[in-house]
Amino acid sequence: GKKTSSYLWAIFEGRRVSSEYIDAVVQARDVANHGLYVLSIHPWHLYVDCQGNQFGKDQARKNLENLESIFSQLKQMQGIHILRQNEYLEAWLEKEDSN
C-alpha cells in the first residue's frame, strides 16, 4: 500500500479513508509497545482544503463525522489510549524522574 501519514488532512479532502488511519494506529500499537502515535489536525482542516477553499456545510459535517468515527473506533480498542501530547509527555517525564 501507499505510505500513510498521521496527518489527518488527507481524509477531509477525500484522498484517504478512516480505515487507513485505524490500520496505521493498530500496526503501530503492535510494533511499538507503549509508543506514541500522533494524529495531527488543525481545527480549520475540517472547514478548508489545502488550497484555502472553504468546504460546504455538508462536507464540513462529513469531515467532523469522519474525525469522530476515527476516535470512537480507537477508544474501543485494547491497548490504545487517546490523550493529548502534553499529557503523554508529562507522564513520560514523571516516569523518568522516578527512575
Q: Which among 67, 46, 77, 21 has a CA at the least distance from the CA of 3?
A: 21
- Residue 85 placed within a domain: yes
- Residue 82 placed within a domain: yes
Mean pLDDT along residues 57-65: 96
- Residue 1 placed within a domain: no
How many domains in the chain?
Answer: 1
**Structure confidence at residue 71 (pLDDT):** 93
Domain interval for residue 81: 9-98
d(CA 47, CA 54): 6
Q: What is the pTM of this model?
A: 0.78
d(CA 9, CA 18): 11
> What are 1-48's pLDDT values in tens digits?
556 668 888 889 888 999 998 998 998 888 887 777 888 888 999 999
Banded model confidence at residue 67, pLDDT cuts 50, 70, 90: very high
Banded model confidence at residue 55, pLDDT cuts 50, 70, 90: very high
Sign of CA dihedral 83, 86, 89, 95: negative
- Residue 41 placed within a domain: yes
**Structure confidence at residue 57 (pLDDT):** 97
Hey, what's the cell of 36?
Answer: 506514541
- Residue 2 placed within a domain: no
83 and 52 Cβ atoms separated by less than 8 Å: no
- Residue 66 placed within a domain: yes
